[in-house]
Structure 1
């Protein structure tokens, strides 16, 4: 369940994040505090399926799960992304809420509730575009599809492609290959 509170400052977020019980994920997106339970096994499986494909094709790139990123969109933000693809050395020496400038792709997998999924579909998509993250991949379990957004400009992604689970999804440059979605869901 996502609990949202408007207009949380970065200082308030940091205090809440430090005090949050284990098993809860805390994020700050567009000034709103988002609290969600830790992901279930099916959620993690989706990220693992994507990780295997990316790391098999792109030697030197790693997919980091549950990575905290400082997303300075609109207001100061903090996003715990389901997956962040970057060079294998990129996150060495980074703080818990890392600079996203070296991240090539972020992944979010929707949770079990549709209202939580809307955060991934809209709020996080827009925050990642505003932060200039080159590619955003959404695994939408409620809609049975994977959606890739790319080419951020003016706080929005200019392009989007959807693929139903089971179909191939073309990842844009710098990847430039098809992602097999047959095991996603």
Structure 2
């Protein structure tokens, strides 16, 4: 629900002055104060596992489809990987570079991918 400017300012002032209990995060959602516990890491680990499984499936689907290159930018591992030469449902070659290092891309691209901005 949209708030008038005066109410919005009051909410903002109260929010800024809010003494959030340790171990909680305060948010204003649609004009309501919401307190939620900070993540304990379990949720992030679960999401990371799901993402890894999706990456593997995507890679294999692309390889089965004959897609010549699959570029994966992996924020969890701070690396960039180029998969190439699809054969029998997966890629035979891969080249990996840590963020901040160049990754050489073959023809038809034929340039070094600068990953410095990925840091």
Q: Shared topology, TM-score over 0.5?
A: yes
Alignment coverage as a number of residue pairs: 74
The answer to whether the 8 A contact 1:117-1:140 is kept is no
CA-to-aligned-CA distance 1:71-103 (integer Å, 9 cap, x gap): xxxxxxxxxxxxxxxxxxxxxxxxxxxxxxxxx
CA contact (8 A) 1:165 1:184 kept: yes
Q: Give the superposition deviation at 1:141.
A: 0.2
- Could you say which residue in structure 2 is the equivalent of 1:70? none
Deviation of 1:173 (Å): 1.8
Matches within 5 A, 1:145-184: 145-184=79-118
Spell out, residue by residue over 1:100-148, the C-alpha distance to the aligned partner (whole angstroms, 9 max, x if none): xxxxxxxxxxxxx312321343111111101111100000000000000
* Residue among 60, 74, 81 paired with 1:126: 60
Tell me if the contact between 1:150 and 1:159 (Cα under 8 Å) persists in the aligned partners: yes
Considering Cα pairs closer than 8 Å and 6+ residues apart, tell me whether 1 or 2 has the greater RCO. Answer: 1
Mark the structure with the bigger radius of gyration: 2
TM-score (norm 1): 0.38
Q: Distance in 1 between matches of 2:54 and 2:118?
A: 17
Deviations 1:155-185 (A, max 9, x none): 1111100000000001122111100001114
Runs of 4+ in 1 over 2 A off after TM superposition: none
Q: Secondary structure at the match of 2:53?
A: helix
Task: Structure 2: give runs of 5+ residues left out of the alignment.
Answer: 1-46
Q: Secondary structure at the match of 2:80?
A: strand
